[in-house]
Amino acid sequence: TETLSERYGKFYAAPFERGFGTTVGNSIRRALLSSIEGAAITAVKITGVEHEFSSIKGVVEDATDVILNLKQVPFKLHGSGPKMLTISRKGAGEVTSADIEADGDVEVLDTNIHIATISSKGSIEIEMRLKQGRGYVSAELNNDEDLSVGFIPIDSVHTPIKKVNYNVDKTRQGSNTEYDRLTLEVWTDGSVKPEDSIGLAAKLVKDHMSIFINFEEEEEEYKYEDIARPPLMRNDLLDKSVDELELSVRSYNCLKNAEIRSIRDLIRRSEKDMLHTKNFGKKSLTEIKDMLHGMGLDFGMEFDEQGNPIPGTGGRDLD
C-alpha cells in the first residue's frame, strides 16, 4: 500500500506469472464495481406529492429534482435494515443532507449535499426507506408489497465504489524479469475502506471460481525454506538500493536510520535485529518480510560467491 485514506487507496501486488496481472486486476475491478454491497434510498414519500413529476408547494425544486438530490447522499448502514429516514423543515432556507434524521444504525457520510430550497412560508416533509443492496436495482424491483401508501419506489445504485483503476507493469524475481506487477487504485464513498473492498472483491472472485475445482486440494504443511527460489540470486538484485523498494515512509526511514542501504544489507539482519531498530515495529517487519518473500528472499539468508542461496539459511524466526 502506498497511499491510504478513508476514501482512497493505492495497492501493489507482485509477482504474478506473465498475463495474470491483467487477469487478476480486471476480475477484481469488475467485482468491485458490480458486487460490493452498500446502502441506498429505495423509496421516497413527500407530503403533498402523488408522483415523482409533481411540483412541491413552497419548494423551488420539483419532486424529480429532490429525488435526484437524495440519490447523491452516501450512507453507511449498520445492520441489515431497512431503515426509515425523515426530513422535516419549515420556513425559507436551504435543505441539505444534514437535515436527514435517522437512528444510530445509519450514518450520513456527507452532510453538505443540497436537497431542496424552501421559499417563504413553505415547508417540506420527506420520508425515505434506506436498504442494503448490491449494484443497480430498478424502481420496479424496489416496489415491495410492504411499501406504505404514498411511497414512490425509485431506482437505486448501491455500490460504494466510485472508481477503480488498475495497471500492470513488468517486475523481476531473481534474474527473471517476465513477471507482472499489479497496481490497483480504489475510490469509495467512505462507507467501506478501500483495503476492505479489495478483500471482499477478491473473496467474491475466489468463491465463484471454486465451482470449477473438481478435485480435493490437500493441505500441506511447509516451511518457507521449502518454497522454490530462483536458482541464481544475481548480485544486481542483492545490491539493489532500498530507495527502489515500494515501502511505507515509516519503514523506509527506519532502514535509513539503521544505515541499511541495500537488500544485501537488509537480509543480513535477523527479525530480532530489526525489531531492536529504533521506531521499527511489527507492522513494518511484516511489510518488509512480505516484500522479501515476493523476491524469494528472507531475513538471515546467506549466499555463496555465485549468488546462490546457502541451504539452511534464512527464515530466522523470533525466539
Quick check: 228 pLDDT over 80?
no
pLDDT higher than threshold 70 for residue 87: yes
For residue 185, give the CATH number of its domain: 3.30.1360.10
User: What integer best gives the mean pLDDT of the chain?
Assistant: 84
Domain assignment of residue 98, yes or no: yes
Provide, rounded to the nearest whole percent, the portion of the chain with pLDDT above 70. 87
Q: Could you tell me the residue range of the domain that residue 54 belongs to?
A: 37-157
Q: Looking at the structure, tell me whether residues 277 and 199 fall in a common domain.
A: no
If one compares 262 and 175, the residue with the highest pLDDT of the two is: 262
CATH number, residue 79: 2.170.120.12
Prior bond of 82 cis (ω within 30°) = yes
Report the alpha-carbon distance of residue 155 to residue 145 in Å, rounded.
16
- The domain total for the chain is 3
Q: Same domain for 165 and 314?
A: no
Query: Is residue 167 located within the same domain as residue 147?
Result: no
**Residue 224 lies inside a defined structural domain of this protein:** no
Tens digit of pLDDT for each residue in 243-259?
777 778 788 888 888 88
What pLDDT does 124 receive? 93
Q: Is residue 124 domain-shared with residue 169, that is, in the same domain?
A: no
Give CA–CA dist 55/265, Å, rounded.
72
Boundary-marking domain end, from 173, 193, 208:
208
In a domain, 68, yes or no: yes
Domain identity same for 168 and 266: no
pTM: 0.63
Domain CATH number, residue 298: 1.10.150.20
Cβ neighbours, 10 Å, residue 244: 9
What is the pLDDT averaged over residues 15-27? Answer: 93
Say if residue 3's pLDDT is above 70: no
Distance CA(276)–CA(306), nearest Å, equals: 31
Looking at the structure, tell me whether residues 152 and 55 fall in a common domain. yes
Alpha helices in the chain (DSSP H): 20-35, 63-71, 194-209, 235-238, 249-257, 263-267, 271-275, 282-294
Q: What is the mean pLDDT of residues 35-48?
A: 94
Indicate whether 55 and 152 sit together in one domain: yes
- pLDDT category of residue 229 using cuts at 50, 70 and 90: very low
Segment among 112-116, 195-199, 227-231 with least mean pLDDT: 227-231
Q: What is the pLDDT of residue 95?
A: 95
Residue 143: inside a domain, yes or no?
yes
Confidence at 148, pLDDT banded by 50, 70, 90:
confident
Are 82 and 142 within one domain? yes
Residue with cell 473473496: 203
Residue 305 has a pLDDT of 63
- Provide the percentage of residues in the chain whose pLDDT is more than 90: 46
pLDDT tens, 294-314? Answer: 777 888 887 766 566 666 666
Judgement on whether residues 41 and 149 belong to the same structural domain of the protein: yes
Q: Is residue 277 assigned to a domain? A: yes
Show which of 122, 157, 192 is a domain's final residue: 157
On whether residue 214 sits in a domain, the answer given is no
Q: Is the pLDDT of residue 112 over 60?
A: yes
Which of 34-38, 46-50, 286-290 shows the lowest mean pLDDT across its residues? Answer: 286-290
Residue 215 in any domain: the answer is no
- Give the pLDDT confidence of 153-191 residue by residue, as tens digits: 999 999 999 999 999 998 877 677 788 999 999 999 999
